[in-house]
Chain A
Amino acid sequence: MDDNPVVIIGAGPAGLAAGYELISRNICPVILERAGIVGGIARTESYRDFFFDIGGHRFFTKNEEINRLWEELLGDDFIRVNRLSRIFYRGKYFNYPLRPANALFNLGPVESLLIFVSYCRARLSPSPEENSFEEWIINRFGERLYRTFFKTYTEKVWGIPCSEIRADWAAQRIKGLSLLVAVSNALFGGQQSKSLIEQFFYPKFGPGMMWESFMDRIVAGNGEVRLNSEVSSIHHDTTMITAVEYSDGNTTGKLAPGHCVSSLPISRLVKLFTPQPPAEILSAANQLSYRAFIIVVLIIDISSLFPDQWLYVHSPKVKVGRIQNFKNWSSFMVPDQSKTSIGMEYFCNENDQTWNMQDNELVETATREMVELGLGEKTQVIDSYVVRQSHAYPVYDSEYKKNLQVIRNYLENFSNLQTIGRSGMHRYNNMDHSMQTGILAAKNCSGENHDLWAVNEEKDYLEEDRGVREVPAVPEKVLIGAFARMDKLAFASAVGITCGLLVLGATLWIISRGGDVLNSHLRLLAQYFIGYTVTVKGGFIAFGYSFFWGFLFAWLFAYLRNLFLAIYIYNIKRKAELLSLKDFFDNF
């Protein structure tokens, strides 16, 4: 082993991707992982040969490098899954994004009408203030739809009223789509094929399979993955991390890193520093918070419960926020196809009432709620298992940006330290984003210079599930040209003048040819243009008539063209907003 190895703290997707990248560069890292298995919050746990994923992790990325890596590591064990995930509300399944026929059928005509009226009211008379998430959503979807489909679930996830969640956070999470991009996609299609929006990849035995494969490759390349090794302190001088101390429960170890790459929650990282950082850094770290969640796995003696991979549970009567059905992710997740394993997910804070419930109480609650939701019977539950996951979701409260910046500024003093991953950067990175930060950190260790904080911030890193690309298919100039407003008066005048000149020209042409001009067939125009004759005077009369009718029809044409175009653009924008909200749900 190198005297000053690259020490990676955490064997989650980010840490393992970093390790793998280092191996490919002939650098042998040491990875320290507190848990007994790899994968971090994307690990796969098992119980009696039932596999379950902590939170459900779809494998989808726009990043070709990551995609190739996944496929290279798993090959045929990487299966394609047809996605089905719906909202479960009042005992019925609602498609998301909402489809009018499905919503109408499930909600009934009266409730649907009320939602529609509420939506119209919000659109016609939006609240001038948009300070909270509640106001932000109501302004876009109406109060009734908000209360039906947004309020309960969001409050379950975050544990605070929607009125206390800042609107700019919502706007950031939903990442408003450029109207030009939406229009371009509607006209020319998105970069990602539809199939990829409705499908995702998944390892046969859950994400853990992927992480184990990473670990095997790292070990085969002479890297080390030390499981059950919890970092106890990080020593530093003013500019460098000088040592990382860890313990496996029985023995302790100390490494002097050449580079240190940490995927520890950033708030925990600074608390492990020896000597301790200044008080303001610790104070900022204490103010960064994370949501935790508990997954109660119920093994049910029934072959099929519902066809979805997961359900969002919007009912305020139950605490469960989401229900995973693992065998619908991959049939290999259950050892016996006559059984079903579901994961009842409870969002909570570490050490709150839910977190501190005993396992048997949690199982009892989950079973009762499953019965209340009408998904199964208590007697069908034959076994259960509980997993608690702390630091699952970084909380974007009103102060987090400021606190995070304080810590970042402090950590920038240490030239051989990089933070990666979701918790490591206190950022809502998905798996691919996290892995990308790891890969870039590894590249930095070998002399390159990448800005890890740019990942998942720039447009290229946004997720696909809004079903759209972020770059228009055609240049903006062309789009703007195609959708620009037609000047009604100008168009009407132009058509009117042209029509008038055409008829005037036709009349003069006939007159100039001589002969029995008055009996020319052109005289039939008098049936419409009263007073018209095939004479010079008649030609000017026809000019007037033609101008009038040409003007009228052309004005109407231009008016309707502008109107329908505006309606078309409005619909595209609404649809894009709905699709972006799908992503919003998917990430919790």
Chain B
Amino acid sequence: METDKNNDQVLPEERLFSGVLLLNAKVVGLTLGVIFGLGIFVATNWLVIKGGERVGPHLILLSQYFIGYKVTFWGSLIGAAYGFALGTICGALMGWIYNKIAIFRQ
């Protein structure tokens, strides 16, 4: 994360309160990507470990979006990759939009 450029004459204390947070879009994207990816990986494997007659009847609906995804261990890896990609795109987009608006408003 980074802040906008400030005047060096301003006291650090004042800068602490007056600075506007700018997001590092790449970092936000990667963070969200990892969270999404891990979330799908864990959720899938949780159901796999639980087992039962029908494993993950609802989670399998993700396959409508993530082609090749299944509620299996290998499916969890595929889902994690999709989740990571989607999260990264969403996070980066969010960070980019936020920065554009924040800078524009200044």
Is B49's CB within 8 Å of the partner chain A? no
Q: Is the interface of A mostly helix, strand, loop or mixed?
A: helix
Q: Is the CB of A520 within 8 A of B21?
A: no
Q: Is the CB of B97 within 8 A of A484?
A: no
Q: Is the CB of A481 within 8 A of B2?
A: yes
Q: How far apart sit A518 and B15, CA to CA, in the bound complex (Å)?
A: 54
Is A569's CB within 8 Å of the partner chain B? yes
Across the interface, which residues of B come within 8 angstroms of A509, CB to CB?
Answer: 64-65
Q: Is the CB of A490 within 8 A of B98?
A: yes
Q: How far is the CB of A575 from chain B (nearest CB, A)?
A: 16
Q: Is the CB of B16 within 8 A of A506?
A: no
Q: How far apart sit A377 and B11, CA to CA, in the bound complex (Å)?
A: 56
Supposing A178-B13, A509-B65, A520-B64 touch, asked if A494 and B3 sit within 8 A by C-beta, the answer is no
Q: How far apart sit A85 and B98, CA to CA, in the bound complex (Å)?
A: 52
- Interface residues of B, count at CB 8 A: 29
- In chain B, what residue has the closest Cβ to A180? B12
Across the interface, which residues of A come within 8 angstroms of B19, CB to CB?
Answer: 480-481, 483-485
Q: How far is the CB of A113 from chain B (nearest CB, A)?
A: 31
Is B55's CB within 8 Å of the partner chain A? no
Chain A residues 444-487 with CB under 8 Å of chain B are: 476-477, 479-487
Q: Is the CB of B1 within 8 A of A481?
A: yes
Supposing A481-B1, A495-B94, A498-B93 touch, asked if A489 and B16 sit within 8 A by C-beta, the answer is no
Across the interface, which residues of B come within 8 angstroms of A489, CB to CB?
Answer: 101, 105
Is A513's CB within 8 Å of the partner chain B? yes
Q: Is the CB of B105 within 8 A of A490?
A: yes
Q: What 0/1 readout, one digit per residue, does chain B (55-86) give for beta carbons within 8 Å of chain A?
A: 00000010011000000000000000000000
Q: How far is the CB of A6 from chain B (nearest CB, A)?
A: 44
For B20, give its contact among A485, A498, A502 (CB under 8 Å). Answer: A485
Q: Is the CB of A484 within 8 A of B20?
A: yes
User: Chain A interface: which size bin?
Assistant: 20 to 34
Q: How far apart sit A180 and B90, CA to CA, in the bound complex (Å)?
A: 33
Q: How far is the CB of B103 from chain A (nearest CB, A)?
A: 9
Is A373's CB within 8 Å of the partner chain B? no
Across the interface, which residues of A come within 8 angstroms of B98, CB to CB?
Answer: 487, 490-491, 493-494
Q: How far is the CB of B92 from chain A (nearest CB, A)?
A: 10
Q: Is the CB of B102 within 8 A of A487?
A: yes
Q: Is the CB of B16 within 8 A of A498?
A: no
Q: How far is the CB of A280 from chain B (nearest CB, A)?
A: 38
Across the interface, which residues of A come within 8 angstroms of B18, CB to CB?
Answer: 485
Across the interface, which residues of B come within 8 angstroms of A183, CB to CB?
Answer: 16
For A180, give its contact among B16, B22, B100, B102 (CB under 8 Å). Answer: B16
Across the interface, which residues of A come within 8 angstroms of B3, CB to CB?
Answer: 477, 480-481, 484
Q: How far is the CB of A190 from chain B (nearest CB, A)?
A: 18
Q: Is the CB of B12 within 8 A of A482?
A: no
Q: Is the CB of A494 within 8 A of B1?
A: no
Q: How far is the CB of B79 from chain A (nearest CB, A)?
A: 15
Across the interface, which residues of A come within 8 angstroms of B97, CB to CB?
Answer: 490, 493-494, 497-498
For A483, give its contact among B16, B95, B102 (CB under 8 Å). Answer: B16
Is A284's CB within 8 Å of the partner chain B? no
For B13, give its contact among A180, A484, A501 (CB under 8 Å). Answer: A180
Q: Is the CB of B101 within 8 A of A487?
A: yes
Q: How far is the CB of A100 from chain B (nearest CB, A)?
A: 26
Q: Which B residues are within 8 Å of any A CB, using their own CB? A: 1-3, 6, 12-13, 15-22, 61, 64-65, 90, 93-102, 105
- 11 example contacts (A-B, Cβ-Cβ < 8 A) are as follows A180-B16, A484-B19, A484-B22, A485-B18, A487-B102, A489-B101, A490-B97, A491-B98, A494-B93, A498-B90, A509-B64
Closest A-B pairs by Cβ, 5 of them: A484-B19, A490-B101, A494-B98, A494-B97, A490-B102
Given known contacts A490-B98, A494-B93, what 17 new A-B pairs fall within 8 Å (CB)?
A179-B16, A477-B3, A481-B1, A481-B19, A484-B21, A487-B20, A487-B21, A487-B102, A490-B105, A491-B98, A493-B98, A493-B101, A495-B94, A498-B93, A498-B97, A502-B90, A506-B65
Q: Which A residues are within 8 Å of any B CB, using their own CB? A: 178-180, 183, 476-477, 479-487, 489-491, 493-495, 497-498, 501-502, 506, 509-510, 513, 520-521, 566, 569
